[in-house]
Amino acid sequence: MSPGEARRILDSADLICSAEEVAAAVRRLAGEISAALADRNPLLLSVMGGAVVFTGNLLPQLAFPLDFDYLHVTRYGDETSGGALRWIAAPREAIAGRTVLILDDILDEGITLAAIRDRMLDSGAAACYTAVFADKQIGKPKPILADFVGLRLPDRFVFGFGMDVHGAWRNLPAIYAAGGN
């Protein structure tokens, strides 16, 4: 996508959550996660690439010992609708016996996050929690409910704060919805 095309998408988008609302949601989540997991020395797993912004904002606000790693699983690639699940990178840290917290950008249909949770439990995790920056309200049941949710968003194509639109605008501090949805 050219810079001009990306700019046109942003210019026609609707602001869904301001940067201040986003920052407040991350602060609240940090408090909730700290209250629940501070005494467990959890292994935090960031789901690449969308969760990188959420993770980068959340980690400095967690004032307890933890281990960190990442994984990369996708159903989307460069598409806007999900396909087959692809494991691109598995965590390097040992999972067995650990309390694991999976960090993801958005809970949409829930298929990817449910598969990640199941794989962590199958790998021997003592407990597996999930934290998503956003939970999209799609109006139908999901195979997983996140333990920690930053924001609930409408069923629209959203981008910003780690979520992209055709590869662009992950770097925005606010959440937007593509125009016309």
pLDDT tens per residue across span 21-80: 999 999 999 999 999 999 999 999 999 988 999 999 999 999 999 999 999 997 755 555
Q: How far is CA 105 from the centre of its chain?
A: 2
pTM (2 decimals)? 0.92
Alpha carbons 111 and 103: distance in angstroms, whole number: 15
Q: Which bin fits 162, alpha (ψ -120 to 50), beta or left (φ > 0)? A: left
What is d(CA 85, CA 166) in angstroms, rounded to the nearest whole number?
19
At 128-174, the pLDDT tens digits run 999 999 999 999 999 999 999 999 999 999 999 999 999 999 999 99
Q: What is the pLDDT of residues 15-25, one digit of tens each?
A: 999 999 999 99
Residues 44/70, Cβ–Cβ less than 8 Å = no
In this predicted structure, the answer to whether residue 180 has a pLDDT above a threshold of 70 is no
pLDDT confidence of residue 1: 82
User: Going by C-beta distance under 8 Å and a sequence separation of 6 or more, which residues neighbour residue 164?
Assistant: 50, 170
* Structural domains for the chain: 19-152 (3.40.50.2020)
Bridge partner list, 69: 45
